[in-house]
Structure 1
């Protein structure tokens, strides 16, 4: 008889520190990237999506092709964005005449969860409103006619989006933006003075968080947790973090942890970004090569991997009932999309994206940014002057080179190298949320 085959080498058993460290990185990542994004915005002042604290910055135009303040920006709405610091008391949000236009003002806490969405879908048509956004534990009496909105954290991000039907529509949208204002509830208590240390403005937030040392990452997170407490659903996870010494404190020191915990947390920090990116690539349902997630976006409960993945690839994403984002990076044959090829996506007659508001298609680099192009076009959608086929179908052309004047109306310029696509569907119909409608496959074509 021959020798018995060797027994497989057993996988090493993970220590408690290693297991909890991996959980800790995913749990804390959204809090840290939100903080870096906030600090960059406040340091910039009036550029990009930036303004002083507790003040709206109303974007006058769509983002430029080289915009990198956030990943995967849209070209369907003009932003009205603000970073709130509720440390000195509530902030009043006033909404004036929005001219019956589709708009939304989602409020994100410091953990990236959406906790309120004033807008055309939550307020009666034509209604003006005033809200007092209050921080954790605030006690007080509000003036008559002011509705209270309790923020779970001291820091809040408002990413207002107002439907914008092309460049010619800017003047109308600017008037709506003027109707959105912020002010302290108590004028004697202005916004806290900015005390943040300077932050690199030359790199996007994702790159900056990746460059943080383990000491910087965990010390930043545990200090932020003091004023930005975890949610009630997080109590079990917070208790597990405490088992290896991760507890919220302004004077938290990474060096005070055990050597085993430090080593495990440092490794989790090193491996974390790639792990989250892999999770994001697997997440959601596959339909015709498109990946779509209609669960746990905008509000995440205890799904910490999902929350981290969205923070990494699409910080500030909306809830599925407000908008969904089918995405793909492959063609019909499963080959990666590349600007060296030409593609067409055909929507059959009667099978356009089922949006109760509007829809668009945008191309991004693998890092989540647009690439400048000759015609300064970064999205095509239902508000463009598209050319339909005689049978009612619609062909959108995806390529880097100009297809010519007779086909340019349906052309979406794509980056020169690898790229991916996001199909935005605002106020999706049930057929999109439930999977009855599916995006069409991306076809390679030799036609210029």
Structure 2
């Protein structure tokens, strides 16, 4: 009698195989599990109680920049105001209506449950005029109203993380008007003047206090893979994932059945558990080397937002920056060391000098943001946490630009270009919105930050 594939796999699965597959499978599933826990928390709180939280199929708008004491998110930006929404397409498509932004930069990236950006309407792609999009679930074959364009979602749950360019607090009112013009409407209620409000059921069993990352990282291998197998039934892996799915099937992890670690023998169970634990350690250790180091900066311009089969990168980004954009929309050079190879420290004074021909190459705008060693903004006399290209900066006579990164005010003549620094180890992040090709292909790199001797 010929053996089935499953029977054969059980016989030939060695401890080494089980370990390696456990390690790979942990990283493969990490974004899916993390997105699920994040979704569960974000949609389990009444609207208005916490920024970014509220029912599915409704926007939660961030109305102001974070203040000096804000610590809910690491490395927040001071360039845009967010408009976040989780879309539940289980019953029908959702229509996204976007008003005319009057040429204001914005983007509305949409992530599937594997954390891949599959669409990003906005300034760079679809323009800034009024537009309507139906986000359609897999295998939906209905008809859309005239004037409503179709976006196919790979999974029935989608995270929309809108960002709208904001030129400081004086610009908030104008941005609020644009935000208030955004809407999400189930297709069956489109253009219905008596449309019902979004219904929400609060689930008291959901852990609302432990951050999603801590919940995911604290799971046992059995619980983690068990949840992943359930989620894969609803949120199908990408068609390019066949090879990974074939490997995971060897330990009993597949989309169409509940994972049960106890079906493996004791040694292989332990091997899978060790593989999962080591995968998380590997993700942490690879974080600093994931990008391209240049001039003391870490440049991440490849396989961001859409990861293909680069599963370890997808997992690491889900761990440290869930919701990352495609590089064509934005790149974030992260400073690691100064021109001497030393980490930046607020006890010192630094200059970031751009030659006229080497200013950050963007179609939209750029910024440099200051954080402390933990990735949070620090209080300062100007209440300034970032310097952006829209500001009234002082350029040198030759068109070059000097930014002063230091704790003390450099004086009235230089104050416009002063980025206040706390007296701790520093974290400096540059942001390029709609970067030009030279920033994506490595022909342009950020200049080194130089310590003032």
Contact 2:36 2:113 in 1 (8 A): yes
1:154–1:67 CA distance, 2 compared to 1 (3 A): farther
Q: Deviations over 1:303-343 (max 9, x none)?
A: 10111122222221111111111112211121122333332
How many angstroms does 1:202 deviate by? 4.6
* 1:231 shift after superposition: 0.4
Q: Deviations over 1:361-414 (max 9, x none)?
A: 123355544345454322111112222334432222223454455543222234
More off after superposition, 266-275 vs 22-31? 266-275
- Equivalent residues of 2:346, 2:422 under 8 A apart: yes
CA separation of 1:343 and 1:260: change in aligned 2, threshold 3 A: farther
CA–CA separation in structure 2 for the residues paired with 1:36 and 1:22: 21
2:114 aligned to which of 101, 111, 114: 111
Question: Would you say the 8 A contact 1:99–1:176 is kept in 2?
Answer: no
Aligned to 2:246: 239
Verify the 8 A CA contact 2:20 2:275 in the aligned structure 1: no
The change in CA–CA distance for 1:405 and 1:209 in structure 2 (over 3 A counts) is farther
Q: Secondary structure at the match of 2:44?
A: helix
In the alignment, is the contact (CA less than 8 A) between 1:42 and 1:52 conserved in 2?
A: yes
Q: 1:368 to 1:257 in 2, by over 3 A?
A: farther
Compare 277-286 and 299-308 and name the one that shifted more. 277-286
Q: CA deviation at 1:28?
A: 0.9
Deviation at 1:57, TM superposition (A): 1.1
Whole-angstrom distance in 2 between the partners of 1:280 and 1:433: 20
Q: Residues 95 and 338 of structure 1: is their aligned pair in 2 closer, same or farther, counting only changes over 3 Å?
A: same
Q: 2:444 aligns with which of 428, 437, 448?
A: 437
Please report the RMSD computed on the Cα atoms of aligned residues, expressed in angstroms.
2.5
Moved more, 371-380 or 234-243: 371-380
| TM-score after normalising by structure 2 | 0.87
> Cα distance, 1:192 vs. partner?
7.3
Q: Who is 1:77 aligned against?
A: 80
State the Cα distance separating 1:255 from its structure 2 match: 4.1
Q: How far, CA to CA, are the matches of 2:39 and 2:154 in structure 1?
A: 17
| Equivalence map 1:8-407=2 (5 Å) | 15-45=16-46, 46=48, 47-126=50-129, 128-187=130-189, 193-194=200-201, 198-248=205-255, 251-365=258-372, 368-407=375-414
SS in 2 for 1:52: coil
Q: For structure 1, list consecutive stretches of 5 or more residues without a partner in the other structure.
A: 1-12
Aligned length: 433
Q: Distance in 1 between matches of 2:70 and 2:206?
A: 18
Alpha carbons 1:102, 1:357 under 8 Å: kept: yes
Q: In the superposition, relative to structure 1, how do residues 189 and 168 fare at CA in structure 2: closer, same or farther (>3 Å)?
A: closer
CA distance in 1, matches of 2:52, 2:420: 24
Q: What TM-score, normalized by structure 1, do the two folds share?
A: 0.88
What SS does the corresponding residue of 2:155 show, helix, strand or coil? coil
Shift of 1:276: 1.2
8 Å contact 1:49–1:69 — kept in the other structure? no
SS at match of 1:350: helix
Asked whether the equivalents of residues 339 and 399 of structure 1 are also in contact (C-alpha less than 8 Å), the reply is: yes
Give, in angstroms, the shift of residue 125 of structure 1: 4.6
SS at match of 2:43: helix
In structure 2, C-alpha distance between the alignment counterparts of 1:150 and 1:333, rounded to whole Å: 49
2: distance between equivalents of 1:199 and 1:343?
46
* Rounded Cα–Cα distance in structure 1 between residues aligned with 2:212 and 2:413: 41
SS of equivalent residue, structure 2 residue 232: helix
* 8 Å Cα contact 1:132/1:146 also seen in 2: yes
Note if contact 2:134-2:151 (Cα within 8 Å) is conserved in structure 1.
Answer: yes
In structure 1, what is the Cα distance between the partners aligned to 2:225 and 2:359? 46
- Equivalent-residue separation in structure 1 for 2:409 and 2:385 (angstroms): 14
Indicate how the Cα distance of structure 1 residues 349 and 310 shifts in structure 2: closer, same or farther if over 3 A, else same: same
Whole-Å Cα distance in 2 between the matches of residues 237 and 83 of structure 1? 28
SS at match of 2:85: strand
| Preserved CA contact (<8 Å) 2:45 2:202 | no
Per-residue CA deviation, residues 245-267 of structure 1 (Å, 9 max, x unaligned), is 11235744444444334323322
Which deviates the most, 176-185 or 69-78? 69-78
